[in-house]
Amino acid sequence: MPDPLGVALVTVPGAAYLVGLHRLWSTAGRGRVVRREQALAYMAGLAAVAVAVASPLDAATGAKLSMHMVQHVLLVGVAAPLIAVGAPLPTVLWALPGAWRRRLLPEWRRAATSHAGPGWARWTVAGLVLQVGALWVWHAPALYQAALASQALHALEHASFLVTAVVFWWAVAGARHRSVGGAAVVAVFVGALPATALGALMTLAGRPWYPVYAGDPAAALEDQQVAGVVMWGVGGIATVVAALVLFGAWLAALERSQPGGDRGLVRT
C-alpha cells in the first residue's frame, strides 16, 4: 500500500495547480501566462514524483540502497526540472482565496523580476546551496537511518529534495537572456558535482555506510556500489540532457539578438 504522505506529496500540489490553472486561464485566457506545454511539463513532473514516492519503488527502498538512489534521481533530476518549467508558484497562488492572492502575487512579481535580471546569480547560488545541503545532510548515516524508520521524516526528506531542487532548476531555467545563458549551462554542471562526488564516495567505499542494509555485508556493499553508480551515472545523464536543453535555448536567444535573427542565421 502506498505511503499516505507520499500520495499527499503528489495529490496536494497537483490539485492546487489544477485549481490555480483553471482560475488563471478563466481570467487571462487558455494558454496565456502559463502555456499549455508548461502545464504538461508540471504534470509530467508530478507523474515522476508519483513513480518515486507512491509506487512499489518506495517500498523497495527499505531493502535496497540502489532503489533509494533511483528514487532520489527521479525526484531531483527528472521531476524537479519538469515542475520548475511548469511555473508552479504563480499558478498555485491562483488557487488561494482572492485576498491572499492579491497580497502574495506582488511579492512573487518582485521575486520574478529580480530573478530575470541582476538577481539571477543570487537565486541560482541560493538554490544550489539549498539543494547540495539537503543532499549531503540527508545522506549522513544517522539521519538516513532515521528517515527510513519514520514515515513522516521520510516524507520530509523527499519534500526537501524536491523543493530545493525545484528552486535550483527554476533559477537556472529562468536564464533566458543571452548574457546569462552560458552561465546557466555552467551552473547545471556545477550543481551536479556534489552529487557526483557523493556517488563516487559511495561506490568506492570499502564497507556499507548504512547498518539497515548490512545484514549481509557483502551484498550490502555490492548494492551500495550500484547505488553510487546510479547517483553519478544516471544523475549525470539527466544533467547532460538539461544542459543541452539550456544550451539550445541560449543559442536561440543569441540568434534572436542578431540582425535578421528571427529569419535564421543561415540562408540558402
Q: Convert the pLDDT of each residue in 56-107 to its tens digit.
A: 998 888 889 999 999 999 999 899 999 998 989 889 999 998 888 888 888 8
Q: Is 127 helix (H, G, I), strand (E, B) or coil?
A: helix
Residue 101 in any domain: the answer is yes
Residue 245: CB partners within 8 Å, gap ≥ 6? none
Beta strands (DSSP E) in 196-249 are: none
Residue 268 in any domain: the answer is no
pLDDT number for residue 205: 92
8-state DSSP, 195: H
Residue 234 in any domain: the answer is yes
Q: Which three cell numbers stand for residue 126?
A: 541560493
Contact at 8 Å (CB) between 174 and 38? Answer: no
Q: Is 198 helix (H, G, I), strand (E, B) or coil?
A: helix
Residue 34 in any domain: the answer is yes
Of 238, 121, 128, 110, nearest in space to 177 by CA: 121
Residue 214 in any domain: the answer is yes
Number of other CB atoms surrounding residue 62 within 10 Å: 13
**Segment 186-230, tens digit of pLDDT:** 888 888 889 999 999 999 999 999 988 878 889 999 999 999 999
The mean pLDDT value for 257-264 works out to 51
- Domain residue limits at 209: 4-263
Of 57, 109, 108, 95, nearest in space to 78 by CA: 57
Mean pLDDT across the chain, nearest whole number? 85
pLDDT number for residue 267: 35
How many domains does the chain fold into?
A: 1
Helix H, strand E, coil C: the string for 97-118 is: CHHHHHHHHHHHHHHHHHHHCC
Q: Is the pTM of this model over 0.95?
A: no
* C-alpha span between 100 and 97 (Å, rounded): 6
